[in-house]
Structure 1
Amino acid sequence: MGSMKFSTRRCSANYLVFLLISSGFHWQFADAFTDTILQGQSITTSQTIISAAGNFELGFFSPGNSTNYYVGIWYKKVSNQTIVWVANREYAFKNRSVVLTVRTDGNLEVWEGKISYRVTSISSNSKTSATLLDSGNLVLRNDNSSILWQSFDYPSDTFLPGMKLGYDKRAGKTWSLVSWKSSEDPSPGVFSLKYDPKGTGQIFILQGSTMYWASGTWDRDGQVFSLIREMRLNYMFNFSYSFSKEESYINYSIYDSSTISRLVLDVSGQIKQMAWLEASHQWHMFWFQPKTQCEVYAYCGPFGICNDSAVDGFCACLPGFEPASPNNWNSGDKSGGCVRKADLQCGNSTHANGERDQFHRVSNVRLPEYPLTLPTSGAMQCESDCLNNCSCSAYSYNVKECTVWGGDLLNLQQLSDDDSNGRDFYLKLAASELNGKGNKISSSKWKVWLIVTLAISLTSAFVIWGIWRKIRRKVTAQKIPTMNLVRQINFGEGKSQKGYEVAVKRLSKRSGQGWEELKNEAMLIAKLQHKNLVKLFGCCIEQDEKILIYEYMPNKSLDFFLFDSANHGILNWETRVHIIEGVAQGLLYLHQYSRLRIIHRDLKASNILLDKDLNPKISDFGMARIFGSNESKATNHIVGTYGYMSPEYALEGLFSTKSDVFSFGVLLLEILSGKKNTGFYQSDSLNLLGYAWDLWKDSRGQELMDPVLEEALPRHILLKYINIGLLCVQESADDRPTMSDVVSMLGNESLHLPSPKQPAFSNLRIYDGKLKFKLK
């Protein structure tokens, strides 16, 4: 929101006159209760401005016993000072002589002596003024009363009526809450409240970068979050949800405008919806979340189930599972979750004793996170689809809806018998774990299973065989790396008129080294679920045929548009930003949010696939590696693509998450410029990184923009993206940001970005697979 700017001020006569004028304006404010600071005016620590109807007040405050000074907004009509917004929460002022002013350049600034903190960063050709509205929103306006900046776009820890929680892609804004560090320190704490960028309508509480709590999906009819049941009894707050391609957000209003209300994310990580009761002079709590330990996200870890009513601890392992780390589990740390006692067969028809994997029913629970809904003809097909899919861990069937879960099961909660929100699901287990108990498949059912499975297998084999005959004869494959795209493949019994568009990735029979990459890709991506990663539907490994089946991407890959003179004009600025943000979110998931920390190692434009809406999906995980720490790993087998490789990987064989960050930086600069990093020719620059750096040094960064982008982009927005790209491609891995930092930079318009150092390989030309250095 603000940025520190250190400057030296001489105590000149003009400066003293300015202070005297500022003091004079103070008395005008105090007498008239004005709601506005005009350009050139200031307020001191003993002065405030008050909104027109007297709802809110703005001035300096010192929280609790602190001697620090902050600019804040609080309720005027509430007897105990309750802060709703802080301007300079990242930097506290120690001296009582600090002032808040509207500078001559139109910006709002806090300064004291030689130190200044700029609250806003706008450019205006006319005079500006800062006004505190009765909504609690501080706005910076020009002479035409147009709003140039508003505090509602930069919330602190409080969500007021009229605010938004979500994002605006057009303006590059993200609206989120961040808790105070403590009750006496308003600097950003460890908890944040954010809208789910996947568009599910959920809100999340994060503890650092770790998921802490989820609201459940938004119920459009009931106007509530599914896991905040108290909202169903609401008679005071009117919540609404808005979703479009340009922006998505949650906001709320008050039925009775005279009610004083707030929703706050406190230092403990709880969100609390409250209203002020004047009769008792206190805040009344309507609801708060999370209320119990079981509502903390994935508190019991993978395959753990939480029960608030349990007398021997909240967490237990699902049937057929045991603690992954018994020592940690016994000491109270359940986050590692549980692991299987007996492995599933996964692809083998039976166990050694002749029995197949089976299902155990788990009753009356809050279902796991991240389900996938499949089309189905009934419960039997739903069960069959899960049984025959190696990555499927469990399924649930309800009113012709088949829901399946792949990989780890997270956020399970055992509900009480009188809770009507509970559902049943079926957990896939090795047959040895059932031993005739629970839901073991009967002999007659086994025969049905065998017949159905054989029929499906034979039908699928004939279908795939027929497809490949057609491919060899006449199908013109779309050009995506190592993929042949096939349309309208019918699975199941082969009789349905409906088909799935899929992409088939086939290992060449002549390949001597591709099997390990294909197997690695299948094993890794089966464990990953994110909207910006390509989905794996299944695999076929039969004798010499080794096939992966993916979701179909009708718009091919990013390089098809970006580097093709006939097509790259299709990618306007908004679409490019959407692709940049999507790839960043996908990488952040791989590095931090997935159960396995993954390094992709081959991120490039040709490995970014685009769906029908040009949403980006990271693909090709054949070279990806699981990574267990923040340290670098070494390898003698350097794989990837020159031009996207980080210097420590290309020259020393060291790779880490910062290797992917480097590749992302190259990709970001390519998206902005429409030029390839490799084979780039310019009079004084041997590649795109060097060209971008030369422009940046000469304050001509805007010249990097692809000429086909005719939008009148604000210069500072384009420069922000170039700055981020250059930070990512710095030579030292330690200097590069993490993907968490990158996502924050992309989503925070007011965040002050550090200056980048010279990129790696800026004096290097890469073409035809060879490296050529430029002598300096």
Structure 2
Amino acid sequence: MGLDGTRPFLLFVLLLFLRACFSVNTDDTFSKGQSLSAMNTDSISSKSGRYELGFFERGTPPKFYLGIWFKRLVGQKIVWVANRENHLSDPSTSRLEFSEDGNLVLLEASSKKPFWSTNLENLPSNSTEAALLDDGNFVLRDRSNLSTIFWESFDHPTDTWMPGGKLGIDKAGKVPKQLISWKNSDDPSLGPFSLSLRIYPNGSSEFILQWNRSQVYWSTGVWNGETFGSLPWMRSNPIYNYSFVSNANETYFNYSLYNSSMMSISFIDSTGQLEQKTWLSANESKSDPWDLLWANPKSLSDVYALCGAFGIYHDNTSHPCDCPKGFEPFSDTQTTLNDWSSGCLRRHPLQCENRNAKKDWFQKIPNITSPINWKAYSAVSARRCELACMNNCSCTAYTHNSSGCLIWEGALLNMQQPSDGGEAGQDIYLRLSADEPQISTKGTKWKVWVIVAVLVAATGLILCLSVCFSIKRKLKHKGETAASSNDLMLFDLSTEIHAISDGTNCQDSDKKRGKKDVELPLFSYESVLAATDNFSTANKLGEGGFGPVYKGKLLRGQEIAVKMLSKRSGQGIEEFRNETTLIAKLQHRNLVKLLGCCIEGDEKILIYEYMPNKSLDFYLFDPAKKQMLDWGTRIHIIEGIAQGLLYLHQYSRLRIIHRDMKPSNILLDSEMNPKISDFGMARIVGDNELQANTNRIVGTFGYMSPEYAMEGLYSIKSDVFSFGVLLLEIVSGKKNTGFYNHGSLNLLGYAWELWRDDQSLELMDSTIGYPTSTSILVRYINIGLLCVQENPVDRPTMLDVVSMISNEHVPLLTPKQPAFTVGRNPTINLTENCSINSVTFSVMEAR
């Protein structure tokens, strides 16, 4: 053989040698200098040959992941995924290897950043190795001392709980070890369902299944030392040995198998059910070698929001979810895989804010179990219930029955309709666009004409009677003044608010100036005196910047709040008119309701619905009362405030900037629902107006945005800044103003320092303990810091904020340093003027 003929042979041998040196075979370990290649389908196997770690693909187009599965079984059952939220797309350049600092990194040549990493510090970089153990645990350990484990996959489970693995809470790192479902069978990214351990203040604990890590729909019951309350069979079962461990560093459950020859897994399915299965060697030839031991909840109908937003669950079909008329699935590809987490989308947008368009209409959906988060309305008839929903742009559905009127705002979740026609619920009327075709009335036209004829005749008769009655009434009341138009004591809060029939209302004094009626009742001063027992000191709730606030009581026993404009407040006339004009036109569950007003002589009085739980600052900054605000309540309050501001900025008839958002202006009703109050400082801006200017700066120090406080420029981003301060105060239980810690002048500076040092959890109000998921807490702090950035352009809109709050899958940006955190002297003595009343009103402060 000549020299030219030996070169290809030598090159081939060299390549074989390099592959033997630098790629990985089926050994159970690999170390620095070696790698796993997706292109070569490299893998490592546990010594017993039971488990295998390598690359697998899912979906169309294919996406590649690093994972662990049972090696010998028919059908790949993935038990762990490294990069479930960051898939690889180029297998030819994808590999798992060691970095210079001894960490495992998953790389793709086209990307400069790793797709996944063990991300540890201070490793002995030259002595680490990776190993797949016989229990399926993938570990990073010290090669010179195999018992020293630096990192293990059991501490980072995906959707599967393996025997020997831990589920619970790492107290040191404040990280929950929980299961989160796959999105669907082709997508291992985070699904909507999770299993986590809940620990109560008395030390008891239970596992809970949750939708979106917030809505609990099933639980194991409390652990009694031997079994969970809902799983009594655990005490005497011959397969599993469960154990509970709690110490200073962690609290967790794990389990083992009495028979080590068996294989078993517990996992949360993409449909929201927790299942436990076993595999025996005798099953190896079966197409599905797994035997199902149990599944909870037992029926898919018990899984919360399985069909997503506006989806309807049917209990006896092979495809359990469907979309109502006027909607279509968010993704046909996802629904083919029975993934309805994204729900249904409208085919046509609603016409609510389009004044020149046809009105929306309601489609009847019979026999539906009521979705949660309904709002009770005081309408006494089905027609008034329908009008209440139609006149509220946020309302998407209503129902009316013997119990009254219920309306829903936003997406409808957990709608269920039995396919066998069984009685399950009630008729719900779903709001559809005017562009959505209605059911044809062909064949019933003659009935329509008969009804129209009867209605026309009846209407004519009613009009004639009304004219006669009106003339008689005018003659009877001729000479009476408009000021005595309405008796507050006889007012019924359970009815809708309409203008007084003679047209008298709070803005009559402005008609001469050409200002428009606001359809708000005017009450006599005498009746206000009667309701408040002559403004008795015992009824005084507090005093704000514009005057005192009193509690009143009507003849029907209903309670009200009466706000008096101080005669000494020369600044208050404009604010009084502003508040009556604005609030009368606003209708939202998270805005305080203005019932009417009184104007007689120098007296100017506003009548509000009464908030029995006073204001947010009454609880939040009191060491004893703040414990009443648990994490569920605080998150509910944050969400409610965000929804109210979103309505003001985007969905109300007028775009409104509040300009004085603070805890004392957040009132709480009997169910701790937040309601934004005090619109004396609010301003209306045009739909296309991004910014406005004022020469008179008003508000409360600590909540004003820098551009407003320094330059008099205000916009919707000014309210976003105030909301961010509020959010951080709610999370921490501390005031922004006058807050000093570690050299920080205010709470914003302290929160920023903790965020920068990756210690955000220290901001949490320690008096109420940790929430179920600490990741939720970190997410809220991130959102708060995004809202208080110095440049208004960097701050999100309230629409963005609501999206970030309601959808945990929305990625968050990294915040920039907040305003008012640099260039200040922490020794300056700042005097804070706050509302001291429990109903709360703003304080006017000079620049």
Q: Does the alignment pair 1:97 with 2:93?
A: yes
Superposition TM-score, scaled by structure 2 size = 0.52
Rounded to whole Å, the distance in 2 between the matches of 1:626 and 1:410 is 29
Q: 1:284 to 1:684 in 2, by over 3 A?
A: closer
1:655 equivalent in structure 2: 714
What does the per-residue CA deviation read over 1:409-432, in whole Å, with 9 as the maximum and x for residues that have no partner?
985758557499xxxxxxxxxxxx
Which residue, 463, 474, 477 being the options, matches 1:442? 463
Q: Does the alignment pair 1:152 with 2:196?
A: no
2:574 equivalent in structure 1: 516
1:220 equivalent in structure 2: none
The answer to whether the 8 Å contact 1:131/1:139 transfers is: no
Rounded to whole Å, the distance in 2 between the matches of 1:21 and 1:565 is 57
Output aligned runs, 1:594-613, within 5 Å: 594-613=652-671
Q: Which amino acid aligns with 1:609?
A: L
What does the per-residue CA deviation read over 1:216-235, in whole Å, with 9 as the maximum and x for residues that have no partner?
xxxxxxxxxxxxxxxxxxxx
Q: Does the alignment pair 1:759 with 2:759?
A: no
Q: 1:511 to 1:436 in 2, by over 3 A?
A: farther
TM-fit CA distance, 1:95: 5.2
Q: Which amino acid aligns with 1:588?
A: L
Which residue, 36, 44, 47 being the options, matches 1:19? 36
Rounded to whole Å, the distance in 2 between the matches of 1:685 and 1:275 is 49
TM-fit CA distance, 1:158: 9.7
Rounded to whole Å, the distance in 2 between the matches of 1:506 and 1:546 is 6
Q: Does the alignment pair 1:298 with 2:298?
A: no
What does the per-residue CA deviation read over 1:166-220, in whole Å, with 9 as the maximum and x for residues that have no partner?
x99999999679xxxxxxxxxxxxxxxx99xxxxxxxxxxxxxxxxxxxxxxxxx
Rounded to whole Å, the distance in 2 between the matches of 1:737 and 1:513 is 33
Q: Does the alignment pair 1:489 with 2:541?
A: no
Q: 1:641 to 1:145 in 2, by over 3 A?
A: closer
2:622 equivalent in structure 1: 564
TM-fit CA distance, 1:301: 4.4
TM-fit CA distance, 1:553: 1.1
What does the per-residue CA deviation read over 1:216-275, in whole Å, with 9 as the maximum and x for residues that have no partner?
xxxxxxxxxxxxxxxxxxxxx9756859xxx9998958646xx4667699xx96447999
Which residue, 358, 373, 383 being the options, matches 2:377? 373
Output aligned runs, 1:412-431, within 5 Å: 413=434, 415-416=438-439, 418=441
Q: 1:443 to 1:541 in 2, by over 3 A?
A: farther
TM-fit CA distance, 1:71: 9.2
Q: Does the alignment pair 1:549 with 2:599?
A: no
The answer to whether the 8 Å contact 2:748/2:818 transfers is: yes
Q: Secondary structure at the match of 2:114?
A: strand
Q: Secondary structure at the match of 1:580?
A: helix
RMSD over equivalenced CA pairs, Å:
6.4
Q: 1:696 to 1:621 in 2, by over 3 A?
A: same
The answer to whether the 8 Å contact 1:70/1:89 transfers is: no
Output aligned runs, 1:81-92, within 5 Å: none
The answer to whether the 8 Å contact 1:364/1:417 transfers is: no
The answer to whether the 8 Å contact 2:789/2:819 transfers is: yes
Rounded to whole Å, the distance in 1 between the matches of 2:406 and 2:468 is 23
Which residue, 744, 749, 768 being the options, matches 2:831? 768
Which residue, 783, 797, 805 being the options, matches 1:738? 797
TM-fit CA distance, 1:736: 2.0
TM-fit CA distance, 1:21: 11
Which residue, 140, 143, 150 being the options, matches 2:164? 143
Q: 1:638 to 1:173 in 2, by over 3 A?
A: farther
Rounded to whole Å, the distance in 1 between the matches of 2:644 and 2:183 is 25
What does the per-residue CA deviation read over 1:21-70, in whole Å, with 9 as the maximum and x for residues that have no partner?
996764979xx9x9x76xxx2x33xxx4xxxxxxxxxx244539xxx868
Q: Secondary structure at the match of 1:658?
A: helix
Rounded to whole Å, the distance in 2 between the matches of 1:735 and 1:175 is 31
Q: Which amino acid aligns with 1:488?
A: K
TM-fit CA distance, 1:621: 1.6
Rounded to whole Å, the distance in 1 between the matches of 2:533 and 2:41 is 88
Q: 1:400 to 1:477 in 2, by over 3 A?
A: same
Which residue, 541, 546, 552 being the options, matches 1:477? 541
What does the per-residue CA deviation read over 1:630-669, in whole Å, with 9 as the maximum and x for residues that have no partner?
6222222212111111111110111122211211121122
Superposition TM-score, scaled by structure 1 size = 0.57
Q: Secondary structure at the match of 1:546?
A: strand
The answer to whether the 8 Å contact 2:659/2:682 transfers is: yes
Q: 1:603 to 1:440 in 2, by over 3 A?
A: farther
Q: 1:447 to 1:510 in 2, by over 3 A?
A: farther
Q: 1:399 to 1:150 in 2, by over 3 A?
A: closer
Q: 1:98 to 1:751 in 2, by over 3 A?
A: farther
Q: 1:447 to 1:400 in 2, by over 3 A?
A: farther
Rounded to whole Å, the distance in 2 between the matches of 1:272 and 1:285 is 9
The answer to whether the 8 Å contact 2:180/2:193 transfers is: no
Q: 1:701 to 1:531 in 2, by over 3 A?
A: same
Q: 1:61 to 1:588 in 2, by over 3 A?
A: same
Q: Percent identity?
A: 39
Q: 1:88 to 1:21 in 2, by over 3 A?
A: closer
Rounded to whole Å, the distance in 1 between the matches of 2:536 and 2:691 is 44
Rounded to whole Å, the distance in 1 between the matches of 2:94 and 2:188 is 28
1:618 equivalent in structure 2: 676
Rounded to whole Å, the distance in 2 between the matches of 1:713 and 1:403 is 34
Q: Secondary structure at the match of 2:645?
A: helix
Q: Which amino acid aligns with 2:658?
A: H
Rounded to whole Å, the distance in 2 between the matches of 1:669 and 1:140 is 35
Q: Which amino acid aligns with 1:128?
A: S
Q: Which amino acid aligns with 1:298?
A: L
Q: Does the alignment pair 1:116 with 2:168?
A: no
TM-fit CA distance, 1:619: 1.2
What does the per-residue CA deviation read over 1:347-384, in whole Å, with 9 as the maximum and x for residues that have no partner?
xxxxxxxxxxxxxxx99999xxx9973265x899x89x
What does the per-residue CA deviation read over 1:385-410, in whole Å, with 9 as the maximum and x for residues that have no partner?
99xx9x9xxxx9988898799xxx98
Q: 1:159 to 1:703 in 2, by over 3 A?
A: closer
TM-fit CA distance, 1:584: 2.2
Q: 1:768 to 1:538 in 2, by over 3 A?
A: same
Q: Secondary structure at the match of 2:377?
A: strand
Which residue, 526, 531, 535 being the options, matches 1:467? 531
Rounded to whole Å, the distance in 2 between the matches of 1:289 and 1:718 is 26
2:19 equivalent in structure 1: none
Q: Does the alignment pair 1:685 with 2:744?
A: yes
Rounded to whole Å, the distance in 1 between the matches of 2:334 and 2:678 is 52
Rounded to whole Å, the distance in 1 between the matches of 2:328 and 2:301 is 21
Q: Which amino acid aligns with 2:715?
A: S
TM-fit CA distance, 1:517: 1.9
The answer to whether the 8 Å contact 2:659/2:718 transfers is: yes
What does the per-residue CA deviation read over 1:701-727, in whole Å, with 9 as the maximum and x for residues that have no partner?
433333423347766554433333222
The answer to whether the 8 Å contact 2:540/2:551 transfers is: no
Rounded to whole Å, the distance in 2 between the matches of 1:444 and 1:750 is 61
Q: Which amino acid aligns with 1:610?
A: L
TM-fit CA distance, 1:513: 2.8
Q: Secondary structure at the match of 1:115?
A: coil
Q: Secondary structure at the match of 1:477?
A: strand
2:486 equivalent in structure 1: 457
Q: 1:653 to 1:704 in 2, by over 3 A?
A: same
Q: Which amino acid aligns with 2:644?
A: G
Which residue, 129, 138, 153 being the options, matches 1:128? 153
Rounded to whole Å, the distance in 2 between the matches of 1:438 and 1:567 is 57
TM-fit CA distance, 1:116: 2.8
Q: 1:600 to 1:419 in 2, by over 3 A?
A: farther
2:690 equivalent in structure 1: 631
